Structures are given as structure tokens and as C-alpha cells.
Amino acid sequence: MLSGKKILYLAAAIFLSLPVVSCRTSSNNTHTYRPYDERRNRSGSFSDDGTNTTRSKENKNIITPAGHGLVSDEWARLDIKLGRKDNKELYKELKRWLGTPYVYAAHTCGEGTDCSGLVMEVYLKVYDIKVHRNSARMLEENCKPIDVDDLREGDLVFFITSSDGHVSHVGIYLKDYKFVHASSSRGVAVDDLRQNYYATHFHTAARVITK
């Protein structure tokens, strides 16, 4: 028979041979938070205006879809510093429109608008200027073309996005290459003129003529 000491030694040896279980969660089980827009669209597909709807670390200039409670965050992430000479009323009005869905032939903040409807309403509210409802006529009858290097906030940027070669899209320039427009796939959003799609389809910059 085993003595009392031997039994204690044997029990201790068995205990020490058991695997150690930690109460800490393994680092392999932690989860990394991903922004809502990434979780919503994992395909990385391109929208009909050419921008990638999935956030990319390689392209920080792409502004992700506005709306869904992200409007204030979208605006806050913009690398735009306002100075004393900047038109605060313009930025305030455009911020109201961010996230408004795209609706052809509409022009109601928060409900729906197309690109020319957005420009028409903002110009009427901020500058008390009435411009044409059509982007091509807007350029032809309300504006004078200017050099891209002369762009300043409130100027308009026009694009040819259709195959017929006519002006078909317009946005309002801010500063630092950023402009606000009504994207057909994302609604009212802020984008960068240097993005490949907009640089490729850019037609002209223009300034509204005041009478």
C-alpha cells in the first residue's frame, strides 16, 4: 500500500500534468470593427458613376455613401478647413442636402433630387440666383467657362457621362478639389475631381454669370 506522502506526491504530479486553461480570450478570437458601408457591400463592385462603394485604404479620396446616419461623420472626415472668407451659408446648405437620395427630375432636400435640381435649389437659397433646370442649358445660358486653376467655392463643374457627347452632369465646387453633386447611385455626396472617373469625364469648370 502507498504511504500518505506517496499519495500526496502522486496527486501533485497528476495535477501539474493537467493543461493550463487561461481565463483570457485568445487574441485570435478578437473582432475588428469594419465601417457600415464595408459590411453593407463586400463585393467591391463599382457604382454606375464609377466610384468604388467599398472603402479602400489605398484610395482615401473616395467618399463613401452618405446617409444611413453617417451624414455628419462623412462631412467631418473631409479635409476641408474653412477660413474667414469662406461662404459658411453655402457649406451649411450643402450639408443639409448630404444623403438626399437620387431621384430623377426631383429637387426636394431629404426626399430626392438629381444633379441639376440640387444646383438649382442651392443657388436659389444661397445666392438668390435662378439657374436652368438642365445641366447643359445651365452651362450654355447661365455660365461662363473658366480655367480649372481658377475654381473657387460656388463655381460649377460639368461632366460628360453619356455616350452622346453632351453635358449630362453638374456639381458645385467647394475647395481642395472637392465638389458636391447628386450621384445617380449614392445620392448627394462629396467627391474629388482627381478621382479617376471624374477626371476622365470632366468637361469644364464654369462660373455663374450674375445679371
> Which residues are the active-site residues?
115, 169, 181
Q: What one-character-per-residue DSSP string does 4-38 give?
A: HHHHHHHHHHHHHHSPP--SSPPGGG------HHH
The C-alpha cell at 179 is 465638389
Find out whether 89 and 170 touch, Cβ atoms under 8 Å. Answer: no
Cα dihedral across residues 128, 132, 136, 139: positive or negative: negative
Cα distance between residue 41 and residue 2, in whole Å? 68
